[in-house]
A and B are shown apart, each in its own frame.
Chain A
C-alpha cells in the first residue's frame, strides 16, 4: 500500500497582521494559481494591479506556527513574479522574504534572472511580521505593507494592490487518522515517518506500507514523483518475486512445555496462534506472527520463545547493562 495523502495549506487568517479574510485583495498562493489558470490577474474591484507584493513564509519558519521551511514557496514566489510581470506589463512586483531558499537544479539561476526583471526584494525579520493595512484615500494604491526592512534597518511602507501570501504546507488535519488506520507514525509536525530518512525514505516501519510525496514532508513535484515511483518499484519488486519473505523474528511454542491453557490464543492480535485440539497444544503460524512478544511474556509455562528476543537473551542483556 502506498500512502500519498499530501498536505494542506496553512490557514493564512491565523496571522492577523496580514488581514487575510478581511482585506479583499490579500489572497493566498492557491487563489493566485486559480487567477493564473483563468487568465485573469486582477483585484477584487476587477482592476489590473499596478503594485503587487508577494509575501514569503506564511506559516513557515516561524516560532508561533511551523518551525520548518515548506521548501517550494520561494521558487514558486519567483515564478509568480515572472507571471505577474508578463501578464500585467508595467506591474511593480515586490518580493517580501525572510531568506531566499533557492535550492536545487537551476533555481539559483532563476533567482538571478528574477532580480534582473526588476523585482524589488525586501527582507523582513523572522517573527517580525509585516503589517498589511488599507491605504488612505490619497494614496495611489489599495494597501500599504509596513515592514522592518532587515538590510537597511529601516521601517518602510510598500504600496500594493494585490498581496499574494505564500502559504506553507502542513500535515493534513486527518493525518493522525490515516496514520492510525495503516499503523504508521507521525513526527512532531504531523508528517509521516519514514523507515530511515536517508537509506529507506519511502518505506515505513510497517511492512508493506510505503509513503510518497508531501505526506512525509514538504517537497516539490519532481521530488514527490520520484518518491512515488520509488514506492511503486518497491511494491512491484515484492510482488514480482512471487513469494513474500518475512523477518526471521517470530515466536515459537515448545510443544513439550505447552500445557494447552490457551491464554496465548486470545492475546495474539494477528490470530497467529492456533490450538491443535487433537494434541491439546497451541502452535504459532510463523508467517502470520509479527513478533510482538505479548504471548511470550504471558505464557505461564514459559513455553513460548521469541526468536532473537528470547528470555535468555534479554536476561543476559539486563546483566550486561548493569555489570
Chain B
C-alpha cells in the first residue's frame, strides 16, 4: 500500500472514530447543503471499469445516447482484479461519495478468473470501509458486460439515488479537520 495513502486512511479512521468532532462537521456540512438538498445533491462516484466488458458497456451507454445520472467519473483498468483496495480508499479520501467497481460477469472475465478474485476481495474491502466508519453502501461491485449499456446506466442511476439518500460523504472533511488540528 502506498505509504502516503496509508497515513491518509489512518487519519480518516481516527477522525471518523472521534464521534463528537465529526458530528459537528457533519452538522455543519448538512446545514451548508441546506434543506431539500438531498434531492439536488449530485453525488460523485468514482467508477473503476474493466477494459473488456464494463468499460465497453459504459461506452455503449454513451454511443446509444442513454440518459443517466452525470455522477460517475470513470477510471479504466484492464481487469476488475487490478483494483487495489488502496484505489478505493484513495477515492473516498479524495472526496468521492461512492466507489463503483464494475467487471465482466462471472465466467466472462477476459483473464478467466480476475473477477473471481475481485469477488473474493470485495467483502474484505466492504468490511474495511465499514471498520473505518464509512457507510459500506458507498462501495459497490457490479457485473456489466460489453452489451449492457442500459444496465450500466441503471446501476449508475440506482447508486446515485442511494447515495443521495445517504447524503454527502464526510470523509474528506473529516480528514481535512484532522489534518488542520494536528
Contact = CB atoms under 8 A, between A and B. Distances in A.
A267 interface: yes
A315 B90 contact: yes
A318 B91 contact: yes
Interface in A270-321: 270, 290-294, 296-298, 302, 306, 309, 311, 314-315, 317-319, 321
Given A185-B53, A205-B110, A294-B117, A318 B75 contact: yes
B146 A311 contact: no
Given A185-B52, A297-B83, A311-B2, A292 B110 contact: yes
Interface centre among A187, A188, A267, A293 (most CB of B within 10 A): A293
B86 A311 contact: yes
A318 B87 contact: yes
A135 interface: no
Interface string B77-96: 11101111111001100111
Interface residues of B, number: 39
A89 interface: no
Contacts of A206: 110
Interface centre among B53, B91, B95, B107 (most CB of A within 10 A): B91
Interface in B53-90: 53, 56, 73-75, 77-79, 81-87, 90
A272 B68 CA distance: 40
Interface string A90-125: 000000000000000000000000000000000000
Interface in A231-255: 249
A29 to B, nearest CB: 28
Given A269-B114, A294-B117, A297-B82, A188 B147 contact: yes
B104 to A, nearest CB: 8
B81 A293 contact: yes
Contacts of B90: 315, 318
A185 B146 contact: yes
B7 interface: no
Interface string B155-180: 00000000000000000000000000
Nearest to A193: B146
Interface string B138-162: 0000000111100000000000000
B77 A309 contact: yes
Interface band, chain A:
20 to 34
A269 B113 CA distance: 7
Interface in B84-131: 84-87, 90-91, 94-96, 107-108, 110-114, 117, 121
A167 to B, nearest CB: 24
A291 B52 contact: no
Contacts of B44: 322
B78 A297 contact: no
B79 A294 contact: yes
Contacts of B35: none
A205 B112 contact: no
B16 interface: no
B82 A309 contact: yes
Contact of A293 (B82, B121, B146): B82
A183 to B, nearest CB: 6
A208 to B, nearest CB: 13
Interface string A177-206: 000100101111000010000000000011
Contacts of B86: 311, 315
A322 B146 contact: no
Contact of A187 (B78, B83, B108, B147): B147
A22 B145 CA distance: 40
Contacts of B111: 269-270, 290, 292, 294
Contacts of B73: 321-322
B39 interface: no
Contacts of B52: 185, 205
Contact of A294 (B82, B85, B91, B147): B82
25 contacts: A180-B108, A183-B110, A185-B53, A185-B147, A188-B148, A193-B56, A205-B52, A205-B146, A249-B78, A269-B112, A290-B111, A292-B78, A292-B110, A293-B81, A294-B111, A294-B117, A296-B84, A297-B82, A297-B121, A302-B1, A309-B82, A314-B87, A315-B2, A318-B91, A322-B46
Given A292-B78, A298-B117, 8 more contacts: A188-B147, A291-B78, A292-B82, A293-B78, A296-B84, A297-B85, A318-B96, A322-B44
